Structure 1
Amino acid sequence: MLHSLLKKLIKNQSGTIRMATARIGLAVAVFLLLIAVQIQSNYHFLLESPNNKDSIADFLVINKVLDNDNLGNSELDSNLIKEIAKQPFTESVGLLNPSRFKASIQSISNQFPFYTDISFESVPSSFIDIKNAEFAWNPTATFVPVIVPNMFLDIYNFQFSLSQNLPQLTPAIVKMIVFKLTVYGKNGPISFNAKIVGLSDRISSMLVPTEFIEWGNNYAEKKSGENVSRLVLKTSDPSNPAIATFLKKNNLSTNTEKLRYSKYRKVIDTVVSISGIAGGIMLVFALIIFTLFIQLTIANCRPEIILLITLGATPNQLSKFLIKQFYPGNIKSILLATLLVVVFQLGLKILLEQQLIYISPMISWYTLVIAILLALLLWIVTYKAIQKHMES
């Protein structure tokens, strides 16, 4: 009978519409906060997932921005290289060592007449996307292995071959062709056989083993300078806006296509931050309003509560009952918000799959933890609000 009487009093004093409005407002605030957390989790998942990770984009070839003020001074200062290596977004740095000798390459087949002057670069093997046991050299080797950019083959097949009436080539055929590679020095030209052992999408220059670069520079009596003009930056997150900011600050550039996601990330981070801040502000206001709502309801029932205490009901009994009346509704608001986030995540997964972008169909455990923490926070707020009025 006590619980029945109290339930009728609370219902009459709080009002069904006011109670529902307070809980809907709370659910909206929680939903915005959880959505902000889930979007951020999805974004990190996209960056780290092997299904979405672009290994090519993890390596950025960096050089100076050339203009009228620094023409002829394209070398990267050693202090700048050390500064790049110390940046939080840097995993490792590989120096591109250029050839400083004159060289040419030509085909030895009459069916494929080809000749051009050429230059090379070398880079530590860990920065090369082609893993080939043949990519090594010494003066007794039967041929010089060369890695060329994929775009060179595209240029040849779709431009050069058409204009020169030459056959188009597949990667497999290119790797079968033997070229004559000539290095020029003070002791005259010296020729080697050369073969293409791989096609790279990472570095847009002709790569040969470091040993050949060092040999050629020594043969041409050219010093391999300590400074280089280009380097390869390995980073776990090429979309990090800090990379674009650092490059701009130091007058450096890289393939802008590989940094295009940094602009998108700034937009995403801004939207997520606004959503999170809005959800946080709304949650604070919802908690304040809900606390005032509880206090007002108890204040309106105060004469009846005093009467019940006089008749033998303890404050502890009344507090437990009031918590049971208010707190389960708060849990329902959080569950509703969490369910909406689950629906949102499933819909987003289906939408992104159409764009060949894959995310988890389940909400992240970060989102669940935040929801549990909010439930705990609401219990504390509800308990404190009731205790404050029961003791006064």
Structure 2
Amino acid sequence: MNRLVLRLLRRHISPLQLVGFSLANLVGIAIILLGIQFYQDALSSLGAKDKLLQGDYIILSKKVGAASLFGVGDNTFSPREIKELESQGFVKKVGAFTPSKFQVSAGLGIGSGVYTYMFFEAVPDAFLDVRSEDWRYHSGDTEVPIIIPRNYLGLYNSAFAQSQGLPLLSEATMSKIPLSIEARGRTETVHFKGRITAFTNRLNTLLVPQSFIEEMNARLAGGEEAKPTRLIVEVTSVSDANIPIYLKENGYESEGERLASGESMYLLRLIAGVVLAIGLIISALSIYLLMLSIYLLLQKNTRQLEGLLLLGYSRGQLIRPYLALTLILNVLGLALALIGVMQLRAYYLGVAGRLLSSELGGTTTYTYLTALTLLVVTTLLNGLAIRRKIHSLPIFAPRTEKK
């Protein structure tokens, strides 16, 4: 790069204009990158998957009204209602919870023994991400695999065990302790051994294989029909705005926090979109400000640039110093923005780690890819503007012959 061109560039450069561009560029890029990174971090918590249920599922039941106290009304789902639910655009598949129609009691063989009444339910195996060898029951088996809610173990450790002088149990220990299960029907009582296969955060019930429930209902409850009172529904996205509308119109309600999490994700996307729009506007204005500054520089140096062209300098030699200036400013602004975003991210992750029970922290890949994209786009736009201005100098204008 020729020293004469650099001296010419420094002669008419306006530090205030470049500082104004740098600050605007820094703020705009920082807002964009912070919005993208915060969205990824928040999404890692709101969209956390249960290891047992890897898809987007919601659990539906009907609202219980005052009439139910007098035996009026039915909170079960009819085949027509299930079919109508399956036809909705946000639904992938629907499964019914099959409840046990027999009495169940279980004992935990620790200390002096813990015995309690309980209930069993089953869902179609297609909804569970469990190894088939860990989740099977054949007629005549004496052992039954069970999936229990993780909060049941938490309640036992935090409330029951300490008050009764019983040992605290981890998930690994609980999975190794045998359970004695008694299934009591109208005329028969059957004893089984229970084996805890997995824990779940999203199903507030005791799950056993579908084949076990069907066999025991037929054997102990005289074949009494087990109408579903709850449905498990795989949806395209729990943040779909049509889901709460449909549930409200039909008097259904979603159990647990999954739908609330989806609504939070929808609100998060909306806020992130607004933040990104503001950042893009500021970045666009900063790009325009830099272009304007470069144009003013070129305008001030028009006569000198024409002279350099007449002396034999090429167009590329004149374009390169201006392009190098914009690239340096863009890289500097981007680097400072990334440093600021990562420092701020470390701060809010530390605060969230103390306040939230779930781990927060998403990928930074999209943030760095966005930063690289912004650098390339802004540099190209500035380069095209500089090249166009240089090519518009009178020395390149076509000459007309004199008559």
Q: TM-score surpassing 0.5? A: yes
Q: For 1:63 and 1:53, locate their aligned partners in 2 and report how far apart those are by CA, in whole Å.
A: 18
The superposition leaves residues 131-168 of structure 1 with CA deviations (integer Å, 9 ceiling, x where unpaired) of 584643344223555444344455567667899x7967
Q: Distance in 1 between matches of 2:116 and 2:24?
A: 75
Equivalent residue for 1:339, pick from 335, 338, 352 = 335
**Cα distance 1:349–1:54, how it changes in 2: closer, same or farther (>3 A)?**
farther
One-letter code aligned to 1:342: L
2:191 counterpart of 1:193: yes
Give the superposed CA RMSD: 4.3
Match of 2:316 in 1: 320
Is residue 106–residue 181 contact of structure 2 (8 Å, CA) maintained in 1? yes
Q: Distance in 1 between matches of 2:40 and 2:113?
A: 54
Residues 1:268 and 1:367: Cα distance change in structure 2 (over 3 Å): farther
Which letter does structure 2 place at the counterpart of 1:328? A
Shift of the alpha carbon at 1:335? 0.8
**CA separation in 2, counterparts of 1:371 and 1:272?**
21
Decide whether the 8 Å contact of 2:106 with 2:116 is kept in 1. Answer: yes
TM-aligned CA distance change 1:132 to 1:302, over 3 Å: closer
SS in 2 for 1:284: helix
Structure 1 position 7, deviation (Å): 4.8
- How far 1:214 moved relative to its partner? 1.9
Following TM superposition, by how much is the alpha carbon of 1:325 offset from its aligned partner in structure 2, in angstroms? 3.2
> Structure 1 residues 31, 322: closer, same or farther in 2, change over 3 A?
farther
Query: 1:181 deviation in Å?
Result: 1.3
Structure 1: 5+ residue stretches without partners: none
How much identity, in percent, do the aligned residues show? Answer: 16
Q: Which letter does structure 2 place at the counterpart of 1:141?
A: D
Aligned-partner Cα distance in 1 for 2:158–2:362 = 37
What TM-score, normalized by structure 2, do the two folds share? 0.71
Is contact 1:129-1:200 (8 Å) kept?
no
Describe how 1:329-368 pairs up with structure 2 within 5 A: 329-348=325-344, 350-351=346-347, 352=349, 355=353, 357-359=360-362, 364-368=368-372
- Give the distance between the partners of 2:124 and 2:259, measured in 1 at CA: 23
Q: Tell me the CA shift for residue 108 of structure 1.
A: 11
Change (3 A) 1:47 1:334: farther
Secondary structure in 2 matching 1:241: coil
Of 359, 373, 378, the residue aligned with 2:382 is 378
Aligned amino acid, residue 137 of structure 1? Y
Alignment of 1:1-392 (within 5 A): 4=4, 7-40=6-39, 54-55=50-51, 58=54, 60-68=57-65, 71-75=73-77, 77-83=81-87, 87=90, 93-99=94-100, 101-105=101-105, 112=113, 114=115, 116=117, 119-128=119-128, 133=133, 135-152=135-152, 170=169, 172=174, 175-184=177-186, 189-198=187-196, 200-201=199-200, 202-219=202-219, 220-224=222-226, 228-233=228-233, 240-242=238-240, 246-251=243-248, 252-262=252-262, 264-266=264-266, 268-305=268-305, 312-313=310-311, 317=314, 319-348=315-344, 350-351=346-347, 352=349, 355=353, 357-359=360-362, 364-390=368-394, 391=396
Q: How far off is 1:197 after superposition?
A: 1.3
- Give the whole-Å Cα distance in 1 for the aligned partners of 2:23 and 2:371: 20
Q: TM-score, normalised by structure 1?
A: 0.73
CA spacing shift, 1:125–1:197, aligned 2, 3 Å: farther
Aligned CA distance change for structure 1 residues 332 and 223 (closer, same or farther; 3 Å): same
Contact 2:134-2:145 at 8 Å conserved across structures = yes
State the Cα deviation string for residues 232-261 of structure 1 (Å, max 9, x = none).
345797xx522x751343234334434454
Distance of 1:365 and 1:159 partners within structure 2: 48
How many residue pairs align between the two structures?
368
Q: CA deviation at 1:262?
A: 3.9
